[in-house]
Amino acid sequence: GQNIDQPTEMTATEGAIVQINCTYQTSGFNGLFWYQQHAGEAPTFLSYNVLDGLEEKGRFSSFLSRSKGYSYLLLKELQMKDSASYLCAVRVFYNTDKLIFGTGTRLQVFP
């Protein structure tokens, strides 16, 4: 079966660093996406990892370990506007592409 786990909720303080973990058990792994979703809006793309290691994009970084079925999203210098849900999604590829999503982690940033 396909399974993706991430924490349901997290809280952090403005200016701090937070790490959101994602573990997965899937077949045909072909990459892992992270999305940000503000309430009432569509998800927006943050990062895509297909090889092991760390990808850095400004305040956001994403890490992947394929052997461990593990990824994390690291948010630095947190801002109030980072309060959102963060979705981990695994890309699987058989005859075609599809993404399997975790249930998302709701992050609340406090002043």
Partner 1 sequence: DVKVTQSSRYLVKRTGEKVFLECVQDMDHENMFWYRQDPGLGLRLIYFSYDVKMKEKGDIPEGYSVSREKKERFSLILESASTNQTSMYLCASITSRGQGAPDEQYFGPGTRLTVT
Pick the closer one to partner 1 by CB: 33 or 78: 33
As measured in angstroms, the least distance from the Cβ of 86 to partner 1 is 12
* Region 44-83 residues binding partner 1, contact defined as CB under 8 A: 44-45, 48, 50-51
Four-residue CA torsion sign, 23, 67, 98, 37: positive
Q: How many CB atoms lie within 10 A of CB 101?
A: 14
* Region 79-108 residues binding partner 1, contact defined as CB under 8 A: 87, 89, 93, 95-104
As measured in angstroms, the least distance from the Cβ of 83 to partner 1 is 17
Q: For residue 90, give the nearest of 34, 7, 9, 21 by alpha carbon.
A: 34
- Asked whether 80 and 15 are in contact (CB, 8 A), the reply is no
Chain positions contacting partner 1, by CB under 8 A: 30-31, 33, 41-45, 48, 50-51, 87, 89, 93, 95-104
